[in-house]
Each structure stands twice: as structure tokens, then as C-alpha cells.
Structure 1
Amino acid sequence: MSAAGTLTRADLAESLHREVGLSRADASRLVEQILKHMCEALARGENVKISGFGSFVLRDKGERIGRNPKTGVEVPIAPRRVLTFRASQMMRDRIVSAR
């Protein structure tokens, strides 16, 4: 993991290189292919579920009225599609026990 406490693509590729024995170039390509495949599925409107990790779920949010917190003026918020992540129970258990 990088110094800032964030796991990056490079960190994933390095783990594949060390733990699986792929060359650094092959490990980097594999990470990119997996992420590309996930992005393409989401762009097609499909959800992505990774067993034991979690699910990336697309939700359509309808139009609603919001309020500018500074002025109090009501403004319409356009309908949009949002991406949410829901961790699996196994992942939640691991996070809680890691404290």
C-alpha cells in the first residue's frame, strides 16, 4: 500500500507480481483488464458482484427538489444514475475484526 494509506493500481499489480509470480508488465495488464471489464459492465447498466468482497450497484435516482443551504432557495435536482458499493458480510466481518 502506498504511503498515503490508499491502495492503488500499482499496488495491486505489485502484489500480483510478488504473490503469483507474474512479470510486472503482465501483472499491470491483468489489473487494467479486470478494471476495464468491470467499468464496461457498469457502463452497460450491469451490476458487478465479487463474492466475498462486495457489490457495485447502479441506482437510478429520480428528480427531486433540493435547497441551497446558503440562500434557502429551492432548486430542482435532475434525475441521475449513481454507483454504490455494498461490502459483503465477509468483508464487513474482516473490517470489524481488524480494529
Structure 2
Amino acid sequence: MTKSELIERVAQESGLTKGRAEMVVNTIFESMTHALVAGDGIEIRGFGSFTVRQYKAYEGRNPRTGDVVHVAPKRLPFFKVGKELRERVNGRWTPSEKVEPSPRPTEPSPPKPSFTRRRDENLSEDVI
């Protein structure tokens, strides 16, 4: 799944426009990125957790020439899959409660009233 496919899916499931859905997806990714940059972990129950791992500097070798190369210390994001996601991927997940998918509307929704909005206005009235 690509980011644009995710945005499309969020728009479909939530009834938001693609522009609003893109704003939601971008906000989530930016928030996750800021948390990892700050050194915080991210835990999404049933899905997995993101952490930042520290790696020390070391002397490596260029595989083509064999020359010694200094590799600087670095921090890399690491993802650990959650139990529920792992079981779903392996086909062994059985929900404790039967959760039925929400029915999709078969007829198009009525047109939304159109009005001009300035880009810098607060958009907090949307409820997701």
C-alpha cells in the first residue's frame, strides 16, 4: 500500500475529502516522526511499536576495495510488530468479539455546502 492509497482509503472510510484525508495522514506521520526524533517511542496496541536504536561508531570495510572505512555513530528507527498483527498476517488471529465491518453507503452522500475558506483558518471543527 502506498501513501496515496492510504489517503484514498481514509477518505472512503471516514467520509472526508481526499484533501482532508491527506492532512490527517500527513499529521499522523509528522507526529510520529517528531516523537522518534525526540527519542520517544511509539506504541500502537495490536499493531506494533517504533523505537529509536543507538548504534556506536565502528570501522567497516569497503567490499569492493577492502579499504577500512570509519562509520559514524547513528540512530535508526526500529519497528517491532505487535502480537495481533503478527497473528493476523499468519492467519491465526481470532477476535474475542465478533466485529462486523461498518456498512458502506450504497448511494452517494448529499453534496456538501460550498464556501470559501482561507488556508490559515483553524480547521479544528472537523471531527474524525
**Which residues of 2 match residues 65-84 of structure 1 at below 5 A?**
65-84=59-78
Root-mean-square deviation (CA), in Å? 1.7
- TM-score, reference length from structure 1: 0.81
Structure 2, unmatched stretches of 5+, are 93-128
Question: Whose RCO is larger (CA < 8 A, sep 6+)?
Answer: 1
Aligned residue number for residue 18 of structure 2: 24
Structure 1, unmatched stretches of 5+, are 1-6
Aligned residues: 92
**Which residues of 2 match residues 48-59 of structure 1 at below 5 A?**
48-59=42-53
Aligned residue number for residue 3 of structure 1: none
Higher strand share: 1
1:11 is the counterpart of 2:5: yes
Structure 1 residue 72 displacement after superposition:
2.2
Letter in 1 for 2:2: T
Structure 1 residue 70 displacement after superposition:
2.0
Partners in 2 of 1:10 and 1:70 — Cα distance?
38
Structure 1 residue 60 displacement after superposition:
0.8
Q: Cα deviations across residues 4-60 of structure 1 (Å, max 9, x unaligned)?
A: xxx122212211221121222221111111111111111111111111111111011
Q: Percent identity?
A: 36
Aligned partner of residue 97 in structure 1, secondary structure: coil
